[in-house]
Amino acid sequence: MLVQVPGGWNPLLGRLAIDQIPYTNPILAPLFVAVVIGAVIILGLITYYHKWGYLWKEWLTTVDHKKLGVMYIILGLVMLFRGFIDGLMIRTQQVWANGPQSSGVFGAVHGYLTPFHFGQVYSAHGLIMILLAATPLLVGFMNIIVPLQVGARDMAYPYLNALGLWITAAAVALIMISLFVGDFAHNGWFGYAPIFELQYSPGVGVDYWIWTLELTALGTTLGGINLIATIVKMRAPGMTWFRLPIFTWASLSANIIALTSFPALQVALFLVACDRYLGSHFFTAGFGGNLMLYTNLFWIWGHPEVYFVILPAFGMMSEIFPAFSEKPLFGYITMVAASFAIAGVSWLVWLHHFFTMGAGPDVNSFFSVATMLVGIPTGVKVFNWAFTMYRGRITYTAAMLWAIGALFLLLVGGLTGMMLAIPAINYMVHNSVFVIAHFHSMLLVIVYAIFGSVLFWFPKVFGFKLDEFWAKTMFWLFSAGSVLVFVPMYMLGFMGQTRRLDYVFNTAWHPYLVTEEIGIAVYCLSVAAFFVLLYVSIRDRVKNRVGQDAWGTSRSLEWLTHSPVPFYNFAVTPHVNARDELAWRRHNGINEAQPTQYVDIHMPNNTGVAIYIGALTFVLGFALTWRMWWLCLLSLVAIIALMIVRSWRGDPGYIITAAELEKMEREAMQRQQQVEGHLPHHGGQAVPGGAMAYEGQKVSPLGTPPSSGGDHH
Amino acid sequence: MLAAAWAGLANAGIFWIFDPKGTMADTNLHYMIIDVVIMGAIVGITALLVIWFMWKYSKGKNRGKYDAHWSHSNTLEVLVWGIPIIAVGFLAYFAVKGTFEINPYNPTVITKHMAPKGDPVHVDVIATDWQWLFIYPQYHMAVANELVLPVHTPVFFRLTSTAVTSGFFIPQLVGMIDVMPGMRTKNALESDRIGVYQGIASDYAGAGTSWMTFPTKMVSKEDFQNWVSKVQASPKTMTYASFNRFAEPYINVNHRVVYFSNVESGIFDHLMMEVMNGKTWPLPPAMTENMVAYMQKQAAEHRD
């Protein structure tokens, strides 16, 4: 052992001992029992219905980008729920532990959470919400939608895609197990030097935090590589850069940020690990360490990460607004330019997270102005969405409501962001709950865009629409919750309440804290509405089935194939003629054109290697956390061996013959006929200008051109 | 009822940021108003525009003309880029100006007008786990967890920590500044309004952060002199050796205030150098897993 850790250590179990299991904790012990019972029930049901084979073959070993995307989204939604529960616990503690007269239970002087636990709860809340909820949700959507939008059969590297998912799942497993084995970090989701050093955090919490972050960073980097390669190399014929759907542009800009910034995080955390495991002094206060170096390194990743999550959300909004305004996105080129401007500036603003560090006014001025520059392209985007609605024909579906909600939240977040960008204002509200309210406004933009996207793309992936009534009910409840929680939070910021207080000293703030707690209750109702939404929609799925163009006003390439999307995406790769390909085809009357002939297609095989490696990275993370050196070595060797074996064998893939394909397509078209009441128009009808519906297939002259603009059903 | 309660409290002066009592906080509010007026106008107009479009172009209402292809306008492109660029340019001027005016190391709002106001008071601030020690080097004295300052006098702070990073914040007087171990930051304030203002540890520093608050008393110059005499008469003294005991983890639930006379001169720099050389005051593992039990243990050690 290079460093002395308090408590025992033995060669077999490392720091793990029975007293590290919080079996006496009045909150965690019952929760653990509930989790075990829940797990037994789920595993029992899977066994009872003999679904293990199905689960293994269709989901756990899949390399299908849509199924991986769905699993990313399920993972993200589960963690969104866990993060919400953490948020609920934080709010409940603050409203309870308010003032010297407030009572305390469970070993806390005030409220029900001791500082030791409160620190863990808010650290887990932040880390989960940003990296294990928002990020997997967005990566999931990019996974599903981007290959469809560019007309590809799968991602560029299907196996890598699965690997990314399972490593992310390992990160999730690691942070979840920290609930019941040991504890979690209390240094905030971004960590602070030197509080995460061994002297101030002697437990395993910070180690859990390090390895959870390292794993999620690794998974996201792998995903980023894959998405960039897919967008650059896998576009359908005819899809020039300026015919790329806007969500794909947003994904490209976001993943360039991810690929370039996540390594900074991994290095920073690696250096933290060196401090904690090897006794180095990168970020200690003494021995030549520099604690602000950590903060700089972290935010050099951290701020680009913020745009990594917001840019795809902007892309989602840019898809939803045109579809339900029944007209093209206003200022497409401008929108693309704005995305890349945001991505570029994201590298120049990190210091605004710590204007209060004491840097000189020159440095602060630079980062202040650079930060405000972000407001320009963001403002452009807001205006463009507004002008997309202008002269449109707006349908207020639930998806559109979420997108509009996101737009208004962005206005609020933008207003408060421009306040924070000015150091002369920032000094007063930095580290206050005003900042919390600001970045929750911004992260809620993402959540709103995600729920809008769930509603918008759900029929594409599963073949039936979600129930509009319950989706709208959920929207209004969620929005009421957002107002009730975050308006008082902004006000408390103006009253000087700082963040992360496990005991709130000022009783004058009580009415506002109570209002926030009421907001949390309303949020709980919206969560309930979400479950009802799922139940009702699945119950009524036959009634709500849709054809390829679920909304009748959809615009981009993903709506050209069947709903649900077959595993091969497109039977024949479509030829792209226009920016909004489906809208263009609808306008030209060939939106239901089918290929005249099929050819063999080549698909990747399933593989269990990805989930094995994912499981081993979890073991590695767990072993590192508890300092079980033999297990670290064993899992690391196993990972490397698996990688070598897999690389050696490669994947020859398999062929779907044209005949098989035709059979599957015929069945899909019959299903569509049942939904839409007519068979899709066969044959490649021609369109003006020598355009093609499918690559390399003959086109015949078009009959009467459809009237302009009359493209609704 | 809730609305009435809100309105009542809003008038009770609890919006500390809107109710500044010193030069620095005044300046913060000044820039906040400028920013909110400019940005609020843009954001407000945009919101109204969106609402108007939502109303006018709602499907089936036939209020506005539908154009299935309209997606570009050079005039609007100039506007959508131009308005944010002009707004940001305008705000950038104020941002830079404000950054220099309340630069914590040399706030020109204070230093430019300093000469006629007399000698400044210097305070060396040390954050521990989890107490504040305010050293008045001019008077060779120190106070734990309470700050007393004279009005009409510029006050200059030097700040460091002997534990982890925290923040020094008095909402009605001066904005936040990081307090870091092995490093020295600065801040300043000036106020001409007598009163007691809340001081807060604005950055999470571990278990005792929430109780790391300190009252800041702005008093008249005479009262300040009387108070100095009182502190200087305290039997407790502070040397580097006694600081070692003071700096051990201590959660200040009971808001204890201690006066120290005869403070060893140069203790601030000495401690900062010690920390840079690797001195730490470590925490026991999971120390507040049961905080009630920890508080009993702390009380039994008779450090209150």
pLDDT greater than 80 at residue A695: no
Residue of chain A minimizing CA distance to B158: A358
Question: Among A34-48, A685-699, B113-127, which is the least confidently predicted range?
Answer: A685-699
Q: What ipTM does this complex have?
A: 0.94
Helix axes A332-345, A361-389, angle to 10 degrees: 160
Same domain, yes or no: B129 and B98: no
Number of domains present in the structure of chain B? 2
Backbone dihedral region for residue B302 (phi beyond 0: left; psi -120 to 50: alpha; all else: beta): left
Point out the residue among B64, B102, B203 whose CB comes nearest to the CB of A391. B64
HSE at residue A153, side-chain half, CA atoms within 13 A, is 15
Whether residue A380 and residue B46 make contact (CB cut-off 8 A), yes or no, is no
Report the percentage of chain A scoring pLDDT > 70: 95
Provide the chain B residues 181-240 that lie in CB contact (below 8 A) with chain A. 181-183, 185-186, 198, 200-211, 213
Reported pTM: 0.94
The CA distance from A658 to the nearest CA of chain B, in Å, is 38
| B6 vs B104, higher pLDDT | B104
CA distance A501 to chain B (A): 5
- Which of A359-373, A686-700, B19-33 shows the lowest per-residue confidence on average (mean pLDDT)? A686-700
Confirm or reject contact between A3 and chain B (CB < 8 A).
no
8 A C-beta contact, residue B213 and residue A467 = no
- Indicate whether B52 and B23 sit together in one domain: yes
B37–A contact, CB cutoff 8 A: no
Taking the Cβ of residue B246 and every Cβ of chain A, the question of whether any pair is shorter than 8 Å is answered with no
Question: Confidence band (pLDDT; 50, 70, 90) for A590?
Answer: confident
Using CB atoms, pick whichever of B99, B185, B276 lies closest to residue A364. B99
The reply to whether B152 and B129 lie within a common domain is yes
Does residue B65 form part of some domain? Answer: no
Asked whether residue B4 is assigned to any structural domain, the reply reads no
Residue B8 lies in a domain: no
In this predicted structure, the answer to whether residue A243 has a pLDDT above a threshold of 90 is yes
**Which amino acid, one-letter code, is at A653?**
G
Residues in A closer than 8 angstroms to B79, CB to CB, are: 383
What is the set of domains in chain A, with CATH numbers? 1-278+608-650 (1.20.210.10), 294-459+484-509 (1.20.210.10), 547-602+676-713 (no CATH)
Q: Is A280 on the interface with B (CB under 8 A)?
A: no
User: Contact B289/A107, CB-based, under 8 Å?
Assistant: yes
What is chain A's mean pLDDT, rounded? 92
| CATH code of residue B184 | 2.60.40.420
State the average pLDDT for chain B: 91
Model pLDDT for residues A364-420, shown as the tens digit of each residue: 999 999 999 999 999 999 999 999 999 999 999 999 999 999 999 999 999 999 999
CB-CB under 8 Å, A284 with B278? yes
Radius of gyration of chain B (CA): 26
* Interchain contact A515–B (C-beta under 8 A): yes
Judged by CB atoms within 8 Å, which residues 179-198 of A form the interface with B?
183, 186-188, 192-195
pLDDT reported for residue A707: 36
Residue of chain B whose alpha carbon sits nearest to that of A374: B88
C-alpha dist (Å) from residue B267 to A544, B79, B179: 75, 59, 17
B103 touches A: beta carbon within 8 Å: yes
- Give the mean pLDDT of A355-363: 93
What counts of helices (H) and strands (E) characterise chain B? 8, 11
Scanning A88-147 for CB atoms below 8 A from B yields: 104, 107-109, 114-117, 119
What is the predicted pLDDT for the residue at A52? Answer: 93
Nearest alpha carbon to residue B191 among B143, B222, B148: B148
Q: What is the pLDDT of residue A696?
A: 63
User: Is residue B48 within 8 angstroms of chain A, CB to CB?
Assistant: no
Whether B81 is covered by a domain: the verdict is yes
Specify whether the CB–CB gap between A663 and A671 falls below 8 A: no
What pLDDT does A589 receive? 83
CB atoms within 10 A of CB B152: 13
Q: What is the pLDDT of residue A588?
A: 85
* A705: confidence class by pLDDT, cuts 50, 70, 90: very low
pLDDT reading at B267 higher than 70: yes
Alpha-carbon radius of gyration of chain A: 26
**Do the chains contact at B210 and A503, CB–CB below 8 Å?**
yes
Residue of A nearest to B24 (CA): A424
- Given a cut of 80, whether residue A128 has pLDDT beyond it is yes
Domain enclosing residue B142, as ranges: 109-281
pLDDT of residue B1: 54
A612-651 pLDDT, tens digit each? 999 999 999 999 999 999 999 999 999 999 999 999 888 8
B23 interfacial to chain A (CB closer than 8 Å)? no
**pLDDT tens figures, A667-682:** 988 888 888 776 666 5
* Chain B CA closest to residue A587: B68
Does residue A16 contact residue A181 with C-beta atoms inside 8 Å? yes
Residues of A in Cβ contact (< 8 Å) with B175: 356, 426-428, 430
> Cβ contact (<8 Å) for A200 and B163?
yes
Give a yes or no: residue B291 inside a domain.
no
B218 and B263 co-located in one domain: yes
Over 60: is that where the pLDDT of A709 sits? Answer: no
Closest CB from A285, A394, A511 relative to B5: A511
Question: How confident is the model over A602-616, as a mean pLDDT?
Answer: 95
pLDDT computed for residue B303 by the predictor: 67
Q: Could you give the 3-state DSSP secondary structure of residue A9?
A: coil
pLDDT at A669: 87
The verdict on whether omega for the bond into residue A22 sits within 30 degrees of 0, i.e. cis, is: no
Given a cut of 50, is residue A713 above it in pLDDT? no
A392 shares contact with chain B (CB less than 8 Å): yes
Looking at the structure, tell me whether residues B249 and B145 fall in a common domain. Answer: yes
User: In terms of DSSP bridges, do strands B155-161 and B121-127 run parallel, antiparallel, or are they unpaired?
Assistant: parallel
pLDDT of residue B91: 95
Angle at A434 between CA A432 and CA A440, to 5 degrees: 115
Determine what percent of chain A is predicted with pLDDT higher than 90.
83
Q: Is the pLDDT of residue A68 over 60?
A: yes
Q: Do B103 and A515 count as a contact with CB atoms less than 8 A apart?
A: no
Confidence band for A1, pLDDT divided at 50, 70 and 90: low
pLDDT at A706: 37
**3-class state of residue A691 by DSSP:** strand
Smallest CA–CA distance from B77 into chain A, residue? A331
Q: What is the pLDDT of residues B189-238, one digit of tens each?
A: 999 999 999 999 999 999 999 999 999 999 999 999 999 999 999 999 99
Report chain A residues whose CB lies below 8 A from the CB of B276.
285-286
Whether residue A498 and residue B81 make contact (CB cut-off 8 A), yes or no, is no
pLDDT at A702: 41
**B209 and B150, same structural domain?**
yes
Q: Tell me the pLDDT band of A712, cut-offs 50, 70 and 90.
A: very low
Q: Which of B67, B102, B137 is the last residue of a domain?
A: B102
Q: Where are the alpha helices (DSSP H) in A104-196?
A: 115-127, 135-149, 158-177
Tell me whether B109 touches chain A (CB under 8 Å).
Answer: no
On whether both B117 and B95 belong to a single domain, the answer is no
B118 and B259 share one domain: yes
Helical segments of A234-360, H only: 246-273, 291-325, 332-345
* Rounded Cα–Cα distance for residues A457 and A453 (Å): 6
Q: In whole angstroms, what is the distance from residue A478 CA to residue A527 CA?
A: 8
A353 residue type, one letter: H
Q: Considering CB atoms only, which of A291, A331, A391 is closest to B77?
A: A331
In a domain, B69, yes or no: no
CA distance A265 to A28: 31
**B33 lies in some domain:** yes
Contact assignment for B292 to A108 by CB distance below 8 Å: yes
In our burial notation (b when 16+ CB lie closer than 10 A, e otherwise), range B159-180 reads bbbbbbbbbbbbbbbbbbbbbb
Please indicate, yes or no, whether residues B90 and B222 belong to a single structural domain of this protein. no
Phi, psi of A463 (to 5 degrees): 85, 0
Q: Each residue of B45-55: pLDDT tens digit?
A: 999 999 999 99
Q: Looking at the structure, do residues B242 and B124 belong to the same domain, yes or no?
A: yes
Q: CB-CB: which of B65, B79, B85 is closest to A391?
A: B65
Is 70 exceeded by the pLDDT of residue A698?
A: no
CA atoms of A387 and A6, how far apart (whole Å)? 62
Question: Is B228 part of any domain?
Answer: yes
> Which residues in chain A have their CB less than 8 angstroms from residue B105's CB?
358, 360
| Same domain flag for B113 and B93 | no
In this structure, the answer to whether residues B120 and B51 fall within a common structural domain is: no
